[in-house]
Structure 1
Amino acid sequence: MKKLIYFELRKIFSKRLSMVTLIGILLFSALLSFSTYQNKYAFDQNAGEGSGKAAVEIDKEIAAKYEGILTDEKVRQMMSDFAPTSDLHGLNAAYIYQNAMQSAAFSRFSDLNGNWNGLSVSDVFGNEEIKIGYVDGWLSTSRNMVRVFTALAFAVRSACRPHRRRSSPGSCPPQFFGFHSSWHRQSSDPHSPLDFRARCHPSPEISRKRK
């Protein structure tokens, strides 16, 4: 089985187009990871504001403050710490992003104005025990890997797709050689694909006439 897999992979990547595609996917993966890292943003009233590496440090600092089992007390504390300090001008507070922890809390426990909506942890998650902490790095990486593997799957499928050779008009298509059918339908069109038996497997009478 290992030899078969090795043989198939070698056959796929021996093609120049496959190698170019693979290099393109690797470059796409690197560019996607770099772009995600550089475009990362975080803000906190105490930790400040930053992007890229600074945003990662801010998110880690905030996550360390609330790390552990999610309780109703922590929810109320987060809703108080992350409460909007300016007018939202009609925007839904659940879609406002300041940092990863605030976004996760507001999407579940905030009303339109950014206040606690009264839901408890059990109301949102049931009896399941929820642990919170810094997971944004792994979450972003997993999202990027899904995109990369999807592109790789399409590339492998394209490389494994058989290329069919087109037959010229009036000739017997390659897939019909050796075809024997118990039924036979004549057609007035000499190039009709329904007249397999007469064209691909001529009868002895037709063969003698051709000689």
Structure 2
Amino acid sequence: MTNLFSVFDPSSSIFNLSLNWLSLFIGLLLIPNMYWFMPSRYHILWINILNTLHKEFKTLLGDINQKGTTLIFISLFSMILFNNFMGLFPYIFTGTSHLVLTLSLALPLWLSFMIYGWLNHTQHMFTHLVPQGTPGILMPFMVCIETISNIIRPGTLAVRLTANMIAGHLLMTLLGNTGPSLSSIIVTILLITQILLLTLESAVAIIQSYVFAILSTLYSSEVI
């Protein structure tokens, strides 16, 4: 069990140097290339993806017309997506499989939305606690339910991302560890299964980063 979970252990080290969390910043080494290289097809594809996300986030945010509002959510999407994909490579630490990282992304965002909303749009925030058309007798219960659902939002954001990252990686590790003791035919089936799982994990990496960014955008749009 210790070996199984060692890939998720932040204290594990390389050459006696604890460099695991530095995997979060590897993406910063790749960013400057776009400033002096001719745009490649991959670069143009990435710009098109970001433009599509910008339009979608702008639609969700609605009346907020301040420039650069969508930039924070696009940056969040890019960072999580990059770290999710980095975790699919062997021997690279997956930062997004730890609540330390996911909560440190979700909690400040949610807290800033709440503080801004309650200070600047207090009446609007109170109306969110009671859904339209709620009978008078149910109003106290609805306030409790809505308050609890609001408070657990950063936790659900963080746990969803962490659980999805851990689940796929553990399954792949479990299947990979059984390989040496199997016959050649079963190993071939196992390899095909691992390739299919890797494809699934690539899709999960994209979906989870998108879900995290889109839910953060929805939470911010409710505040205004």
Q: Which has the larger radius of gyration?
A: 1
TM-score computed with the length of structure 2 as normaliser: 0.31
**Normalising by structure 1, what TM-score?**
0.32
Question: Whose strand fraction is larger, Structure 1's or Structure 2's?
Answer: 1
